[in-house]
Amino acid sequence: MPALTPAEISAIDAAHVWHPYSTIGAEAMAPVVAVGASGARLTVINEGRRVDVLDAMSSWWTAIHGHGHPSLDYAIASQLSRMNHVMFGGLTHEPAARLAQLLVEITPAGLDTVFFSDSGSVSVEVAVKMALQYWRSLGRPAKHRLMTWRGGYHGDTFTPMSVCDPEGGMHSLWTDVLAKQVFAPQVPAAYDGGYSAAFEKKLTEHADELAAVIVEPVVQGAGGMRFHDPRYLTDLRDICNRHGVLLIFDEIATGFGRTGELFAADHVGVSPDIMCVGKALTGGYITLAATLCSSEIAHTISTHDPGALMHGPTFMANALACSVAVASTELLLGQDWRARVRQIEAGLRAGLQPARDLAGVADVRVLGGIGVIEMARPVDVPVATRVALEQGIWLRPFRNLVYAMPPYICTPEEIDSITSAMVTVARALT
């Protein structure tokens, strides 16, 4: 079968493909055709020309080692030569066992049981199902609601949507049909003990019906790229302990070094009862996520009716995905990843500084491998995308944010190119 030309790809795409968060037939800018990826760069067709651009998004925060890394390519090819996939019901295999053991070793203490799934949203669904079934197993079915702070994002399936920000998030369309959860005000960036006290007061009012508190630790990702003091996590752990409520950390975006610690919970050494990981888990190769829980939760669910966690994705623990996840994690841990992230952080801080002086910029913030320019008004995404492409950078702004989460392999010069493009985009939007 002959390869499609870029024009043919675009034509078929326009006729039949629905992209994430997009409008069929009314997009202001057609999707850019990607034809290759290597290292920190994508090869795309821009205005009829084949050009290489820096992937400043790590392809939605996944490709921490860049694209086409030899170690990860080898892991996929080697596993493919042995076994591509088998059902996980009644069967197990080495890649899943090795990955489970590795995750238990590197995640916060006490998370001893791993449930694999195929996306971040599903890992959150599983986390919530674990929490609800835990309380049902203990004869307390009334504890079925969740509590979180505003500004969060946890995924696009219905249970995760119910704990996304109910007003400022992407899912307000569904407010009348989503489960009614308990929301505290937006967590402040700086530590304020008064906020934690108010959070506890609200939790106390609902403790008898709360199964769990769920938050994105330290960084609220797609809900607004906001950062908060890690000490709030310590407070949440203490509050949940005092009132008999489980604590869930959604580390799908923050895991594997993005905030400067391997997991955001590590900033203060807090262990949740349940934790979700995904995105960078496979280094951007194949979709895979996992939900980890304590032995107490796993044992309680397993020893009460119906005696099993009632969930089972078809492609659960796919052997190719587990193999590349092991390779990606070992590659990360086998290098001085902290130094790399610190270097990226320093480059982002220095390079984004000029944006602070622009009239249309509301805030500039950097943490670990995350750099954010918050605009005072919503971003014109087609304009921002075109300007960034002209600078040789792939960015994907959303709402009022121009941000980057670059691969850890980026050189200081490449980080300079990314920040320069971000400032140029911000200037073009003012």
| Binding-site residue set for substrate | 60, 153, 279, 312, 396
Residue 403 annotated among the catalytic residues of the structure: no
Q: What is the DSSP letter of 55?
A: E
Closest C-alpha to 369, from 422, 329, 408:
408
Per annotation, catalytic residue among 55, 143, 153, 403: 153
Based on the residue annotation, tell me whether 279 is a catalytic residue of this protein: yes
Please say if 232 is a catalytic residue: no
| E-state strands within 1-67 | 33-38, 41-46, 49-55
Active site residue 285: no
Non-local (6+) Cβ contacts of 393 within 8 A are 53, 54, 56, 417, 418, 421, 422
Given 21, 305, 336, 357, the catalytic residue:
21
Phi-psi region at 257: left, alpha or beta (left = phi > 0; alpha = psi -120 to 50): left
Cα(112)–Cα(295) distance, rounded to whole angstroms?
A: 6
Asked whether 145 and 213 are in contact (CB, 8 A), the reply is no
SS3 at position 122: helix
Largest CA distance in the chain: 65
β-partners of residue 113 are 293
Residue ranges for the binding site? 60, 120-121, 153, 250, 279, 312-314, 396
Q: Which helix or strand (DSSP H or E) is residue 390 part of? A: helix 381-390
Q: Are 396 and 329 in contact (CB under 8 A)?
A: no
**DSSP-derived 3-state class of residue 380:** coil
Catalytic residue among 55, 118, 165, 250: 250
| Catalytic position from the list 55, 232, 279, 285 | 279
What does the block give as tokens for 135? 């309380």
Q: Which long-range contacts (CB under 8 A, 24 or more apart) does 233-237 make?
A: 233/264, 233/265, 233/267, 233/268, 233/270, 234/268, 234/270, 235/193, 235/196, 235/199, 235/200, 236/196, 236/199, 236/270, 237/270, 237/271, 237/272
Binding residues for pyridoxal 5'-phosphate are: 120-121, 250, 313-314
Catalytic residues: 21, 153, 250, 279
